[in-house]
Amino acid sequence: MFFIASISFSQNYTEYATGSTTDITTNHSFGICMMGGSSENDNAMRWFLNKADGGDIVVLRASGSDGYNDYMYSKLGVAINSVTTFVIHNKDGAIDPYVLSKVTNAEGIWFAGGDQFNYVNYFKDNAMEDALNAFINTKKGVIGGTSAGMAILGNYYFDASKDTVTSDEALINPFDEKVSLGYNDFLSIPFLESTVTDTHYDARNRRGRHSVFLARFTTDYETRSFGIACNERTAVCIDSEGKASVFGSYPEHESYAYFLQANCTKDFNPETCETSTPLTWNRNSEAIKVYKAPGNNTGENYFDLSDWNTGSGGTWENWYIVKGTLLTTASKKPVCSF
Query: What integer pLDDT is reported at residue 335 of this predicted model?
Result: 87
pLDDT digits over 27-64, tens only? 999 999 999 999 999 999 999 999 999 999 999 999 99
Query: What integer pLDDT is reported at residue 8 of this predicted model?
Result: 77
Closest by CA to 262, choosing from 220, 206, 204, is 220
CA distance 75 to 68: 10
**Contact (Cβ atoms closer than 8 angstroms) between residue 234 and residue 257:** yes
Say if residue 224's pLDDT is above 50.
Answer: yes
State the average pLDDT over residues 248-258.
96
Say if residue 288's pLDDT is above 90.
Answer: yes
State the average pLDDT over residues 106-129.
98
User: 209 to each of 29, 151, 198, 264, 337, how far by Cα in Å?
Assistant: 34, 13, 9, 21, 27
Say if residue 186's pLDDT is above 80.
Answer: yes
**Contact (Cβ atoms closer than 8 angstroms) between residue 119 and residue 109:** no
Residue ranges of E strands in 166-287:
181-183, 195-198, 226-230, 235-238, 243-247, 256-262
Q: State pTM to two decimals.
A: 0.96
User: 113 to each of 57, 59, 117, how far by Cα in Å?
Assistant: 16, 11, 11
Say if residue 131's pLDDT is above 90.
Answer: yes
Query: What integer pLDDT is reported at residue 1 of this predicted model?
Result: 46
Residue range(s) in the chain whose domain bears CATH number 3.40.50.880? 13-147
The answer for residues whose C-beta is within 8 angstroms of residue 114's C-beta and 6 or more apart is 61, 62, 63, 64, 147, 148, 149
Confidence of residue 199 (pLDDT cuts 50, 70, 90): very high
Say if residue 338's pLDDT is above 80.
Answer: no
Residue 213 is which amino acid?
Answer: F
pLDDT digits over 298-327, tens only? 999 999 999 999 999 999 999 999 999 999
Query: What integer pLDDT is reported at residue 3 of this predicted model?
Result: 63
Q: Find out whether the peptide bond into 294 is cis, omega within 30 degrees of 0.
A: no
Please provide residue 228's backbone torsions phi and psi, each rounded to the nearest 5 degrees.
-130, 130
Please provide residue 57's backbone torsions phi and psi, each rounded to the nearest 5 degrees.
-110, 135
CA distance 240 to 59: 22
Percentage above 90 pLDDT, the chain: 95
**What architecture does CATH give domain 13-147?**
3-Layer(aba) Sandwich (3.40)
Query: What integer pLDDT is reported at residue 6 of this predicted model?
Result: 74
Average pLDDT taken over every residue of the chain: 96
State the average pLDDT over residues 257-261.
98
CA distance 84 to 34: 19
Query: What integer pLDDT is reported at residue 312 of this predicted model?
Result: 98
CA distance 267 to 168: 25
Q: Are strands 82-88 and 56-61 parallel, antiparallel or unpaired?
A: parallel
Confidence of residue 7 (pLDDT cuts 50, 70, 90): confident
Query: What integer pLDDT is reported at residue 49 of this predicted model?
Result: 98
Confidence of residue 263 (pLDDT cuts 50, 70, 90): very high
CB atoms closer than 10 angstroms to residue 125: 12
Confidence of residue 336 (pLDDT cuts 50, 70, 90): confident
